Structure 1
Amino acid sequence: MAIFARVVDLGSFRAAAKDIGLAPSRVSEIVTDLEDFVGTTLLNRTTRKIALTNEGRKFYAHAVEMVRCAEDGLDELNALSLEPAGSLRVSVPAFMSSSSLATAMGDFTTRYPHVELSVSFTDLPVDLLRDGFDLNIRVGWLEDSSMMSRKLGEIERVLVAGVDYAKARPDPQHPRDLETWDWIRYKQRSNAMEFSSGSGHPVKVAGRSRLQVDSIDALVQYTRRNFGVTVLPRYLVHEGLKEGEFVELMERWRLAPLGIYAVWPDQSRRENLTVHFVRFLAEQQGHSKTQ
């Protein structure tokens, strides 16, 4: 019944199979066995999609209630137990795979061996509910939402260019000096960068761009290869700056740090485990800048 409900929630046998960790053929077989058991067809199948029958729609409501009650039971056990248990699906920006936050997630599973953590590292936009995640890690400035959230830390950002690219141009003294530089754009953020010197009004710079990517890793590589200037988390270019692969520009000008937030549904299916996980991450990060 739980697998049937997951198939309906995610809209396909393949998506449910990936979420659960079974072969699609096995998931289809389980749903067929369930239909044989109850003596009626629950899902109409076509090559492109599935759809609930009238009987399936009625049965689905009870299956969902069964799953919810089971999850509530597990939540209560977790609340009473000193040893968290269960599974969580988490999405994290791909560029944070080498961050201290990612390390803290691994530490959580080491400390609590009865917890199974499935982490999806992606720079593509993720819908928390539609894509079946229990928790998202979001970087930037959090928009108003009905979701629960907690700030975990901050990421310092720096303006960098490849050494050879920077050497071929006059050293910029003001953000407007960068208007004629080649900017490597990151698809998921605004084109305009806002700089502050600590005195006076902030200055926004758009600059020109002929190269845009949807991966922070690609942003690092193109910058290293002297295709232009860009803004990156300091921890990603720390070693490159020490080894002379990158040049930090306009050090007296600052970019606002990016907040790191944990976001989860107001009525999470694993509320106590999710909250326990978020609290652990916050304690590990110590509300300091991520290294």
Structure 2
Amino acid sequence: MRLPDCEAWAMFACVVEHRSFSAAAQSIGVSKATVSKAVARLELSLGTTLFHRTSRRLTLTDAGQSLAERAARILAEAQAAEEQARDAAAAPTGLVKVAAPMSFGLAHIAPAIADFLKLHPGVEIDLTLSDAKVDIVAEGIDVALRIADLHDSTLRARRLAPVAIRIVAAPSYWDARGRPAHPADLGDHDCFGYTNLPNAIWHFRRGTEEVSVRPAGPLATNNGEAMLPALCAGLGVARLPDFLVDADIAAGKLEAVLADWAGDGVALHLLTPPGTLRPARVESLIEYLSDRFRRSCNPR
């Protein structure tokens, strides 16, 4: 098998771009004779003339015109491959912008970032914590963590770990108001609202039965952790992820109910903008976070 003369194709593409053998040679950093020989070698291999040459003018032949775009693609792909290989071989350096939910970010992402920076001292992290949905493309975010029932998106998404959702209140609240036997019973309870999801509805499923409940109560907030003092004080019911409430459940401060009912399929996802080529610093952080949280949102 005869291999293609990639160097000649690349030099042909440079001549086409600069419309001059001399200018192409200068941009590459070689002599004009080297470029001329490479193009002549390609013409001989193809059995066709690529340029009309005069003392004043250089123009593409019909064959050269038809091959110019392909030559440019060959050059661009080779350059991209080399850049990606250099990035992979070099120690990651530069800035990575990260977005994460507030409570989960404080408890788990911030410590993970600290450990990552110890391993990669050349990397800088700009960490934004917010429970609001961030447009990662518009904001220039490289990596985003989201805890949600993720719908179809143009973003690249990696599901890392499931997140169990608990229906919780203080034991004193359940003792005073009664423990619900069915999700529909929650309509008679003071249920705290999460304002980042306006008009949010709590969904439940058990076997073939599905139930929806619209929460209403004395407290609404844009952060789940902010509900905990009112919950522990016996002022109402909340629907919160396991990493926020399991410690208080274990300590007897909160009690979960309706455990035999499944909620929405919530999980921790890692999101990145569309596209396949990413700098080594971003790839390194993605792999680090994926390994750390792949099985649990509560890594130990």
Q: Please indicate the TM-score interval, normalised by the length of the shorter structure.
A: 0.5 to 0.7
Task: Specify which structure has the higher proportion of strand.
Answer: 1
Alignment-derived partner of residue 196 in structure 1: 205
Measured in 2, the distance between the counterparts of 1:272 and 1:266 equals 16
| Change in 2 beyond 3 A, CA 1:127/1:73 | farther
Note the C-alpha offset of 1:211. Answer: 2.4
Note the C-alpha offset of 1:102. Answer: 4.2
Measured in 1, the distance between the counterparts of 2:89 and 2:290 equals 22
Deviates more, 1:176-185 or 1:71-80: 71-80
1:283 equivalent in alignment to 2:291: yes
Measured in 1, the distance between the counterparts of 2:233 and 2:219 equals 13
Measured in 2, the distance between the counterparts of 1:228 and 1:74 equals 56
Measured in 2, the distance between the counterparts of 1:251 and 1:155 equals 14
Q: Which has the higher contact order (CA 8 A, sep 6+)?
A: 1
Measured in 1, the distance between the counterparts of 2:220 and 2:83 equals 45
| Change in 2 beyond 3 A, CA 1:265/1:271 | farther
| Change in 2 beyond 3 A, CA 1:166/1:136 | same
Measured in 2, the distance between the counterparts of 1:129 and 1:151 equals 19
Structure 2, unaligned stretches of length 5 or more? Answer: 1-79
1:187 equivalent in alignment to 2:186: no
1:133 equivalent in alignment to 2:115: no
1:281 alignment partner AA? L
1:122 equivalent in alignment to 2:130: yes
Q: Secondary structure at the match of 2:217?
A: strand
Would you say the 8 A contact 1:101–1:285 is kept in 2? no
Equivalent residue runs for 1:1-291 within 5 Å: 77-81=86-90, 83-189=91-197, 191-197=200-206, 199-267=207-275, 270-286=278-294, 288-291=295-298
Note the C-alpha offset of 1:196. Answer: 2.5
Task: Give the share of equivalent positions with the same residue, in percent.
Answer: 23
Would you say the 8 A contact 2:149–2:264 is kept in 1? no
Alignment-derived partner of residue 9 in structure 2: none
2:203 alignment partner AA? E
TM-score computed with the length of structure 1 as normaliser? 0.67
| Change in 2 beyond 3 A, CA 1:75/1:89 | farther
Would you say the 8 A contact 1:162–1:225 is kept in 2? yes
- Cα deviations by residue, 1:47-79 (Å, 9 ceiling, x for unpaired): xxxxxxxxxxxxxxxxxxxxxxxx999865322
- Larger-gyration structure (1/2): 2
Note the C-alpha offset of 1:141. Answer: 2.1
| Change in 2 beyond 3 A, CA 1:246/1:270 | same
Aligned length in residues: 218
TM-score computed with the length of structure 2 as normaliser? 0.65
Note the C-alpha offset of 1:157. Answer: 1.2
Moved segments of 4+, more than 3 Å: 71-77, 98-103, 267-272
Structure 1, unaligned stretches of length 5 or more? Answer: 1-70
Measured in 2, the distance between the counterparts of 1:121 and 1:234 equals 19
| Change in 2 beyond 3 A, CA 1:206/1:240 | same
| Change in 2 beyond 3 A, CA 1:166/1:72 | farther
Q: Secondary structure at the match of 1:182?
A: coil
